[in-house]
């Protein structure tokens, strides 16, 4: 799967994390006054992390996102990353990272993306973002899922067949447990 195909929606998710320290949104923690938002052109979905809270954001499988983000003061030396949170003990899968030096306090752009059908729809995943600059840090996460049903991905029937196959094999191996025992 192309790394770039993941980047756009997840980068937008990362940008959405860069919001001011909204105490009502428990998953945000910012000391550098960062903020961000994104608009999905075809879907019309507008997402601002300040208002998202802990809601699950359902994104289309393909679209173009107009994004913008900013920090309160010139960042100077900065670095950050975006990652998908995996089940323990696997930690995080880093999607993108950045670093450099800048005096700009804001940025904006557009990004077209088209996630492959292999990526399952309707699965909630947590995207974690972190940005550090001379003025502080901005940490947080957003919960996302792709619009659609479980059978939009070929992985679902494969998993169901695997379940049936492993279950049948297990029943076969454990067949003596279901037999009558000698008195």
Which residues would be at the binding site for another protein (CB under 8 A)? 84-89, 120, 122-126, 143, 145, 150, 153, 155-156, 159-160, 162-163, 166-167, 169-170, 173-177, 179-182
In eight-state DSSP terms, residue 177 is G
Q: Least distance (Å) from another protein to the CB of residue 183?
A: 8
Q: Least distance (Å) from another protein to the CB of residue 11?
A: 19
3-class SS letters over 18-35 = CCCCCCCCCCEEECCCCE
Q: Least distance (Å) from another protein to the CB of residue 161?
A: 9
Q: How far apart are CA 110 and CA 41, in angstroms?
A: 10
Q: How far apart are CA 75 and CA 138, in angstroms?
A: 12
Between 72 and 84, name the residue whose CB sits nearer to another protein.
84
Beta-sheet pairing, 56-59 with 136-146: parallel
Q: Least distance (Å) from another protein to the CB of residue 120?
A: 5
Between 73 and 168, name the residue whose CB sits nearer to another protein.
168
Nearest to 73 by CA among 31, 109, 38: 31
């Amino acid at each position: 799967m192309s790394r770039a195909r993941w980047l756009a929606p997840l980068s937008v998710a990362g940008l959405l994390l860069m919001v001011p320290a909204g105490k009502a949104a428990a998953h945000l923690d910012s000391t550098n006054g960062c903020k961000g938002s994104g608009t999905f052109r075809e879907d019309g979905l507008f997402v601002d992390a300040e208002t998202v809270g802990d809601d699950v954001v359902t994104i289309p499988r393909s679209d173009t996102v107009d994004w913008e983000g900013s920090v309160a003061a010139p960042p100077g030396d900065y670095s950050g990353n975006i990652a998908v949170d995996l089940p323990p003990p696997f930690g995080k899968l880093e999607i993108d990272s950045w670093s450099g030096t800048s005096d700009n306090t804001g940025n904006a752009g557009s990004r077209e993306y088209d996630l492959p059908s292999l990526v399952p729809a309707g699965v909630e995943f947590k995207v974690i973002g972190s940005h550090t600059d001379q003025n502080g840090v901005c940490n947080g996460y957003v919960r996302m899922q792709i619009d659609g049903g479980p059978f939009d991905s070929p992985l679902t029937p494969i998993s169901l067949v695997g379940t049936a196959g492993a279950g049948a094999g297990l029943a076969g191996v454990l067949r003596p447990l279901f037999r009558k025992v000698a008195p």
